[in-house]
Amino acid sequence: MLHKSTSLFLFILCFTLACAAQKVPVNEAFDHAAKQTKVLLKETEKATKTAKPGAVSPRTINDKGELQLVAPKDWTSGFFPGVLWYLYEYTGDKVWLIEAKKYTANLEKEKLNSGTHDMGFKMYCSYGNGLRLTDDPQYRDVLILSAKTLATRFNPTVGAIRSWDHNTDKWDFPVIIDNMMNLELLFWATRTTGDSTYYNIAVAHANTTLQNHFRDDYSSFHVIGYNPETGAVEKKNTHQGYSHESTWTRGQAWGLYGYTMSFRETGNKAYLELAENIAKYMLEHPQMPDDMVPYWDYNAPNLQNEPRDASAAAVMASALYELSTYSENKEVYRKAADKMLQSLSQKYTSPVGQNKGFILLHSTGSKPHNSEIDVPLTYADYYYLEALLRQKQLAAKGKLFN
């Protein structure tokens, strides 16, 4: 749990957020999301006529103002099907069910793609939500194969799942903080099949990441490079952050979400304590804006001139809602998540009919690579809708999972 020395800060933060709190407009937000996504469906159908062969899922808007579609192998390919599943879950409208099934089916071949660590992002956000909402046994089979494929990237000497296969000149065995998000698929696979292999891999990866990815203040490195033969840490770097010693905002959000989920799946209080401390770092950071939508890196210079990252706020909000159900600091976390959703729904949404139908504006993909800066991103929309659903469920039932 958090140290007592933080209690004054938490009280002040909770009081400040309570004073600023307004009701999160879930119904209005989903109504807007549905209108926008209908536009995005039309734009996607139109774009497939001129896109590269195999491009199936919308990712962002490119520098030319065109809708960018990606192939199933792209790490973001599962988020648009996930958006469609969330719209079906909220509305019950079978129009969304039909579209969700269609775009989910496009990804099936990825179940055997062992060249990526992003199996959870791609398959659990699409097929996982589909299984949860339809109980289709075919979805179950696809997910089990996906988990088996992901498990092949685990190195027992390192105690982690390998992330990228690229940039071999920089890292022999890279592990990125984002990879925590893919463990949920493995935890699910053990619950479903009874095979503890998946669970053990997920726990080993979470433990290795806990040991090596975090600084004393609970900020996170983006990339840890390991020696695959000895398991020794060789490098601690960034790839998408401002510098090797800075804190890339979305990476911090991935860590918060990943360890909150890992506590849910294991009951390991070390994961809960880490999630609480990650949250503390973010919520009390002096560079966190008043609207709780962070800049792309907490330590970038001249922050007032730097782009925000709405995707990080969406991931944080969703994670904080879940964390609030496990922690004594539940009111602080819930109010912070409420504030993030209020800001996103009021100041970061696209006007209806614009921006090719994406829901949120002002996300940042990779500033160091001059890639996807201040644009809509499909994963921002996904976690925004997930956070809205979680807010609604907490308000109605007081819990998220049975």
Annotated catalytic residues are: 118, 178
349 annotated ligand binder: no
250 annotated ligand binder: yes
114 annotated ligand binder: no
366 annotated ligand binder: yes
327 annotated ligand binder: no
59 annotated ligand binder: no
Cα-based angle 222, 119, 229 (whole degrees, multiple of 5): 60
Calculate the CA 205 to chain-centre distance.
Answer: 17
Annotated binding site for substrate: 118, 178, 238, 250, 254, 366
In the annotated binding site, the residues are 118, 178, 238, 250, 254, 366
